[in-house]
Amino acid sequence: MKQQGFTLIEIVLVMALAVAIYAVLLLIPSRGGSIGDLKASARVLASGLRQAQSTAMATKRDAVLTLDVEAREFVMPGDTSARKLPDGIDLKLYTAQSEVTSDRKGAIRFYPDGSSTGGRITLSTGERKYLVNVEWLTGRVSIDD
């Protein structure tokens, strides 16, 4: 009577094949940033916008957060160095026409009373995206997905 099942050699071959496929998948570069990077970037931008609003209210002067969508960098008021967002994240900026400096750079301005020019920054990777919204009347910053 013959027993049914797998031999040790068959099991080892299947496991070796699975390890080889897994190793190849790890070597393929991923397209775009991860969802964790995307969410963290949205939070960092929202925090920068809130800080710009606080700066405008505390100093009684306009405060501007400038964004370079191609380089994925933004500069906060009072900072001379740009903060870089991870590669693989696509940015789009919708803001007042007066705040657009070029086709790749623009800004969102906050006024001493807390209001702003308003706008939206869209961060996306693949099918996933986050919207960082700034209300013009109140300057309120929110993140929507």
Domain 35-144 top-level CATH class:
alpha beta
Of 76 and 1, more confident:
76
Average pLDDT on 57-65 reads 95
Considering just the CA atoms, what is the radius of gyration of the chain in Å?
Answer: 24
Residue type, 67: L
Average pLDDT on 80-89 reads 90
Beta carbons of 111 and 54 less than 8 angstroms apart? no
Q: Could you tell me which of 104, 123, 116, 112 has the C-alpha nearest to residue 141?
A: 116
**φ, ψ of residue 14 in degrees (nearest 5):** -65, -40
Confidence label for 6 from pLDDT (cuts 50, 70 and 90) = confident
Alpha carbons 3 and 69: distance in angstroms, whole number:
66
Q: What is the pTM of this model?
A: 0.77
